[in-house]
Structure 1
Amino acid sequence: MKKNILITGSTDGIGLLAAKQLAKQGHQVIIHGRNPDKLTQVKQQMDNNLAVKVTAFSADLSDLTQVENLAEKIEQKGIKLDVLVNNAGIFRTDKPLTNEGLDVRFVVNTLAPYWLSKKLCKKMAKKGRIINLSSAAQAPWDKGAMLGHTRLTDNQAYAQSKLAIAAWTYHLAHQPLYQDIDWISLNPASLLGSKMVKEAYGVNGKDLSIGANIIVKLATDATLAAQNGRYFDNDIGQFSYPHDFALHEANNQMLIEILEHLAQRLLPEQTRQAV
């Protein structure tokens, strides 16, 4: 069965490879990128080389208003998603703080996919699936850092943001309002040869197709519904468990409260009330 699949951060790296694989299989792929020019270039290349035309949307996920607008554009196009892959992420950047003084890793890696998922899941096809890219790098999140009061190193912010996305995936999967959706968090594999890994660690890394292949599998395998809310660790090739901190309801409830508080700070009241 062919699916409508949105992959954020799909103008390079494993997101782009996964998008190409899914389009070759005949799925309707929606790509996303921050840079409109690069996004247009990638769309043209895919359209010229694949039988299925792709749809493209640009948005800077460090700006929650643009995240909101992205969801609205998809709804206005009448696209009924079957799968959302929250792949976009940041490790190191020359601008680690947003205009509001928040660590951009928490905004892009944790808050933006949380808000996009909440906005889109109500309009997704029955038993749609949301796949959230986590990482083997995981650490308990610091509330002060998430709220912009404490500064972290690149490694600290990335690890905390990536555990947090696995945590809210687990939490939402067990909420009655969201149980029509299959929720999965994913470590696509450690030290893949992405631009992020090369910039962060100065190594070429492993074959990107390792990460792209598991995204494609999780997006299309109907047998995975029973794994709702779980964490797939592609370093071992099976479902496993994230850091213990993300398995405690009190911690996850605290995280949700932080994310909702940040949304209140960053979005107009009428937008917040609509979710």
Structure 2
Amino acid sequence: MNKRTLITGASGGIGAEFAKIFAKNGNDLVLTSRSEDKLNALKNELENEFGVKVLVIASDLSKPNVTAEIFKITQENGIFIDNLVNNAGFGWHGEFCSQNLSKFNEMINLNITALTELCHIYANEMIKNGGGKILNVSSMASFMPGPLQAVYYATKAYVTSFSQALFEELRDKNVSVCVLCPGAVKTDFVKNGDLAGVKAWDLAKDAYSVALCGYKAMQKGDLIAFNQGELKFASDFILPFLPRKTILKISRKTMEKTK
């Protein structure tokens, strides 16, 4: 029997690349995002190319009670999840006080609340069924505060911290937890987050390479995955030793628009 993998934010970018990688490796899939048309197109592509089964669940994870609905649907279809990939999330550029508070509430609900709920729901199912794997997509942003993306950086700090704690709690229950912390990635994140002109994206990596890095780390049971060696070096040997105000200045500089 094929492994069954649930991927959030699967209609494009890193999520769609995850779907292709897992399908290529013989996983049946549950794909969810807000865009039903894109999910169905991806479903057809993956079923035709790899002969796997794909269940599409169009949902907005920033809304309340959606995670329970997803679980109900997987249960009704007799699908017990072996791998959970929490990929859905978004950011927004600009000074905190000039932005609409409702957008930040939506970001917190998606980046933190939905991820936490899905981990709770499916980790319990994995424990009951003898094991499983969880991959939470965070960011290099999680290792520092983020002026001009204050809430986004803070949500990713939560994801990285939470994932590491969960790794320790679940490691003796045959459930592994890995957190993927990439740098800038070439996806619609730039357009959707009003990040055009931010210099940090000049050297952004492609979504496939980031997804492949996360997939391999998840399979190995790694705790943290970086898609670039220099990011790991910075997190381990540079950021911990810099004065906090220096980090703030550097972080802000990387988020300022140049055009």
Name the TM-score class by shorter chain. 0.7 to 0.9
Q: Could you tell me which runs of 5 or more consecutive residues in structure 1 were left unpaired when the two chains were aligned.
A: 142-151, 245-275
Q: 1 CA distance for matches of 2:42 and 2:100? A: 26
- SS of 1:57's equivalent in the other structure is strand
Q: 2 CA distance for matches of 1:8 and 1:190? A: 20
Instruction: Write the letter of the residue equivalent to 2:87.
Output: N
- What root-mean-square deviation, in Å, do the aligned CA atoms of Structure 1 and Structure 2 show? 3.1
Q: TM-score, normalised by structure 1?
A: 0.70
Give 1:7-86 correspondences, 5 Å limit.
7-86=7-86
Q: 2 CA distance for matches of 1:72 and 1:162? A: 27
Q: Which residue of 2 aligns with 1:217?
A: 216
Measure how far apart 1:237 and its partner are.
8.1
Q: TM-score, normalised by structure 2?
A: 0.74
Q: Which residue of 2 aligns with 1:207?
A: 206
Deviations 1:161-210 (Å, cap 9, x if unpaired)?
001011111222333798442111111x2111111035424456322221
Q: Which residue of 1 aligns with 2:250?
A: none
Instruction: Write the letter of the residue equivalent to 2:183.
Output: S
Question: Structure 1 residues 215, 233: CA separation in 2 closer, same or farther (over 3 Å shift)?
Answer: closer
- SS of 1:61's equivalent in the other structure is coil
Give 1:145-184 correspondences, 5 Å limit.
155-175=149-169, 179-184=173-178
Question: Structure 1 residues 119, 194: CA separation in 2 closer, same or farther (over 3 Å shift)?
Answer: same
Q: 2 CA distance for matches of 1:239 and 1:178? A: 26
- SS of 1:5's equivalent in the other structure is strand
Whether contact under 8 Å (2:142, 2:160) holds in the other structure is: no
Q: 1 CA distance for matches of 2:41 and 2:162? A: 34
- 1:129 matches 2:122: no
Q: Which residue of 1 aligns with 2:105?
A: 103
Measure how far apart 1:96 and its partner are.
5.5
Q: Could you tell me which runs of 5 or more consecutive residues in structure 2 were left unpaired when the two chains were aligned.
A: 94-98, 241-259
Q: 2 CA distance for matches of 1:156 and 1:35? A: 27
Measure how far apart 1:3 and its partner are.
1.9
Bigger share in helix: 2
Mean Cα displacement is larger for which, 24-33 or 201-210? 201-210
Percent identity (aligned): 26
Q: 2 CA distance for matches of 1:3 and 1:173? A: 21
Q: 1 CA distance for matches of 2:148 and 2:134? A: 26
Q: 2 CA distance for matches of 1:16 and 1:157? A: 25
Measure how far apart 1:154 and its partner are.
5.6
